[in-house]
Structure 1
């Protein structure tokens, strides 16, 4: 059988099998996806908008679970030292599983580790921990924050919007 006829026959047979829902059995070991690498936190950035301030945490890999809670003060993970950010209200932002370092222990995080910010609501952020699959940030405010958290994809990132009065 000539090559062109063989290719056409294979194409027709494949199309028919797919149309009928017939699949090819693949051993479980061959079909298992490779182990997913722990997501890496690579940056944090912020911006002011008319009615909200936005904090964006950039991730390499998939977006991990994010928890946000109010705390009375910010402390560094591990040492317990107080984070030197001025403010009356604070949020702790934890990503898990996540890391801000590579397999050799070198930091891959390129954002600010401690930064005072002059926006209507957000007054500062700090990277407060990269420990045992948790990456933790602290955010400081002068007034009680109202916020919403969501994830965006392509590139992967965690977004926190902090509502404030219209400044435009």
Structure 2
């Protein structure tokens, strides 16, 4: 008789534990409004001319994803493959992934320029080239071969690309 009672207590404890876990799981999957979004959201792109470099800044909400920058012969839109109408002799393709420029409802969160001619010493144009399957792409246009460096800044999260040119302030 005593043995039977112990087993019933263990079963009851098991039910309590399951109930407690059942409550704990949705709490962790609660709305993420206060936290950073699960996917990095690309919200803006800016640029500026400085004495010896032109700078592109890409603003991200959430954790900054890996970013690749590579020289390409021409800029193409993703996924259409259409040519990006930016004049230049040299182009850099900037890709952030995993990232999106739209929210879960499919609305754009990107507030920056989609296609803009720029008249800085090095930087001649900037385009948003894609927001597709977890990759947000930008293209930058130059008349001379870009010599660049990149880095990341935090709080707020942003990716920076500096392209050198002759010092205009000296």
Shared topology, TM-score over 0.5?
yes
Runs ≥4 in structure 1, deviation > 3 angstroms?
Answer: 33-36
Instruction: Name 1:164's counterpart in structure 2.
Output: 165
Alignment TM-score, normalising by the size of structure 2: 0.78
Question: TM-score of the superposition, structure 1-length normalised?
Answer: 0.79
For 1:101-141, what per-residue CA distance to the aligned partner results, in whole angstroms no more than 9, with x for missing partners? 00010000000000000100000000000000000000000
Match of 2:47 in 1: 46
1:103 corresponds to: 104
Does residue 133 in structure 1 map to residue 131 in structure 2?
no
Q: Give the structure 2 partner of residue 119 of structure 1.
A: 120
RMSD value, Cα: 1.6
Q: Report the Cα distance in structure 1 between the residues aligned to 2:101 and 2:79, rounded to whole angstroms.
A: 15
* Counterpart in the other structure of 2:91: 90
What is the alpha-carbon distance in structure 2 between the residues aligned to residue 150 and residue 98 of structure 1? 17
Q: How many residues align?
A: 139
Aligned partners of 1:85 and 1:163: how far apart in 2? 20
- What's the CA shift string for 1:86-108, capped at 9, x where partnerless? 00000000000000000010000
Q: Structure 2: any 5+ residue segments left out of the alignment?
A: 1-20
